[in-house]
Chains A and B, each alone.
Chain A
């Protein structure tokens, strides 16, 4: 149990275009989902927290108009990178928390974004 999927696993896009990444909890309902970014040989940095049915909470320094997050259901959150630039190239990982009494988070396999 506790499986999180992401789609696509890898995407290449041109500068100025937008890219949408989906994060799904496959066998549990996720009241809260999180989006992280990881640069090569670095740790994960939290970008935003997404709660079902409400606006996402962004970390300091993360542009909310550039990284649009929608958590429309208890099993799906999407991250849209708008007007992508080469510096947005990175590994994006989502996680989900089922809620209740456990704070354990489960992570998706990640999406590698390359902006040319």
Chain B
């Protein structure tokens, strides 16, 4: 099956810093999503980005499908950005179920 690798596994920054999170995947995808898991466990949809570039406030994401990677950029980090960031992808299955495969996540800690 498809493999998803996220880097770095842990990232500690000071408030105000910028960060780049990376997601590599091993096969063609038709879905790529970035999530932020908050301390209560809720997965918050950040981007649905199987290809191209999107921006939402201080966050932006780029997926280069031909090179099989995606990047999540966080600018001017705030303490509320702390948490685990997951990348998840899906590739067509025989049944067309579009199952999401998650990376292991990047744990981001923003210190005041």
Interface residues of A (CB under 8 A from B): 2, 32, 34, 38, 42-46, 49, 51, 57, 91, 93, 95, 97, 102-107, 109-110, 112
Contacts and interface: CB of A to CB of B under 8 A. Distances in A.
Interface string B40-81: 111101001010000000000000000000000000000000
A109 B41 contact: yes
A46 to B, nearest CB: 6
Given A43-B105, A103-B90, A93 B43 contact: yes
B103 interface: yes
Interface of B: 30-31, 33, 35, 40-43, 45, 48, 50, 86, 88, 90, 95, 97-105
A97 B50 CA distance: 16
B104 A43 contact: yes
A86 B48 CA distance: 36
A106 B45 contact: yes
B95 A107 contact: no
Nearest to B89: A103
A104 B31 contact: yes
Given A109-B40, A109-B41, A110-B42, A104 B48 contact: yes
Given A43-B103, A43-B105, A105-B33, A97 B45 contact: no
Given A34-B100, A95-B43, 5 more contacts: A44-B86, A49-B97, A57-B95, A103-B31, A112-B41
Contacts of B97: 32, 49, 51, 57
